[in-house]
């Protein structure tokens, strides 16, 4: 048994979309979350910059005595997973892409038309496509960068016609020309606009990696006998490098909780 918290991190508020699924599946677990809201978005930055930022965050979370690191960000998982694992070898590090790619490879067949949307960095890395095709070469996989979604979401522009127009702009041709039937939300911010996407393209089967990652977390904690016990009385703590009004508003909305139930902290990573 291990009551230490799990460290989650993302470029901003996107990684929060995994947390309700974690609490549903493993209610005794606690988290320390870090959102790099001062430097978001990462998805159009140079890989060397993303490596530098994510190493700073991982070091900070390790200094908080977490029992596991979860990279709740596709962009960082696509570019920095191996490097972070080689730097930090004493606790497990879970990336968000492989669990989803593995599920698609085992559950989809040659009749499916799989579309992956994500940031420029995630899509140009080809990590989803390569892993899915390696495991199941007959699958048909298409991808598309949708870089304006993250800045709009971080600004709180969600249930709004600007967001709907942006979805149409990026996705109408992508979906229709490639006859996509299965869509992977390859950025942890995108579950926040899932309802918009479902309304605009109601027949799509949507796959949410923010949910898929939970099975891997549970499996590793069970295998290592590191699950938290029912007596776990630690708090969940949420850090942001810029505690903006929108981050504070969104966190309560995503976690569906009252303000008094959360500990929010500002953490400057010596920018
Ligand atoms: N949530 C991140 C991801 O999953 C965000 C990307 C960004 O900061 O551009 O890729």
**Catalytic-labelled residue, pool 187, 197, 213, 251:** 187
Q: How far is Cα 133 from Cα 137, in angstroms, rounded to an integer? A: 4
Q: 201 C-alpha vs ligand 1 centroid, how far in Å? A: 23
For the entire predicted model, the pTM comes to: 0.95
pLDDT number for residue 265: 83
Active-site residue, 108 included? no
Across-strand partners of 95? 71
10 lines ligand 1 (CB under 6 A): yes
Cα angle, residue 81 at apex, residues 80 and 82 outer, rounded to 5°: 95
Q: 124 C-alpha vs ligand 1 centroid, how far in Å? A: 13
Q: What pLDDT, in 10s, does the model give residues 182-241?
A: 999 999 999 999 999 999 999 999 999 999 999 999 999 999 999 999 999 899 999 999
Active-site residue, 73 included? yes
59 CB contacts (<8 Å, ≥6 apart)?
none
- Spell out the alpha helix ranges (H) of the chain: 19-25, 47-63, 74-87, 97-107, 120-125, 127-135, 149-154, 161-178, 194-200, 209-223, 245-255
- Spell out the alpha helix ranges (H) of 2-96: 19-25, 47-63, 74-87
Q: 233 C-alpha vs ligand 1 centroid, how far in Å? A: 31
Across the range 154-165, mean pLDDT stands at 94
Is a pLDDT exceeding 80 seen at residue 133? yes
Instruction: Tell which residue, 72, 82, 107, has the closest CA to residue 186.
Output: 72
Q: What pLDDT, in 10s, does the model give residues 73-99?
A: 999 999 999 999 999 999 999 999 999
Phi, psi dihedrals of residue 197, rounded to the nearest 5°: -65, -40
Mutation to probe ligand 1, out of 116, 119, 240 (largest number of atoms < 8 A from CB): 119
């Amino acid at each position: 048994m291990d009551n230490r918290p799990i460290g989650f991190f993302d470029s901003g508020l996107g990684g929060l979309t995994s947390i309700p699924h974690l609490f549903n599946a493993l209610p005794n677990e606690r988290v320390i979350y870090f959102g790099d809201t001062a430097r978001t978005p990462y998805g159009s930055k140079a890989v060397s910059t993303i490596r530098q930022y994510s190493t700073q965050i991982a070091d900070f979370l390790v200094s908080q005595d977490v029992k596991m690191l979860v990279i709740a960000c596709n962009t960082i998982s696509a570019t920095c997973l191996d490097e972070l694992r080689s730097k930090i070898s004493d606790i497990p590090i879970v990336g968000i892409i492989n669990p989803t790619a593995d599920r698609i490879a085992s559950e989809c067949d040659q009749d499916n038309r799989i579309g992956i949307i994500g940031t420029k960095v995630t899509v140009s890395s080809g990590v989803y496509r390569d892993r899915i095709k390696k495991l199941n070469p007959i699958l048909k996989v298409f991808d598309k960068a949708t870089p304006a979604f993250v800045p709009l979401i971080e600004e709180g522009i969600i249930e709004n016609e600007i967001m709907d127009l942006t979805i149409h702009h990026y996705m109408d041709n992508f979906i229709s020309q490639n006859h996509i039937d299965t869509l992977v939300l390859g950025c942890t911010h995108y579950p926040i606009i899932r309802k918009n996407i479902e309304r605009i393209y109601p027949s799509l089967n949507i796959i949410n990696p923010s949910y898929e990652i939970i099975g891997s977390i549970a499996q590793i904690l069970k295998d290592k006998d590191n699950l938290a016990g029912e007596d776990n009385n630690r708090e969940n703590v949420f850090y942001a490098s810029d505690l903006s009004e929108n981050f504070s508003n969104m966190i309560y909305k995503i976690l569906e909780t009252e303000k008094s139930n959360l500990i929010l902290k500002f953490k400057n990573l010596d920018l």
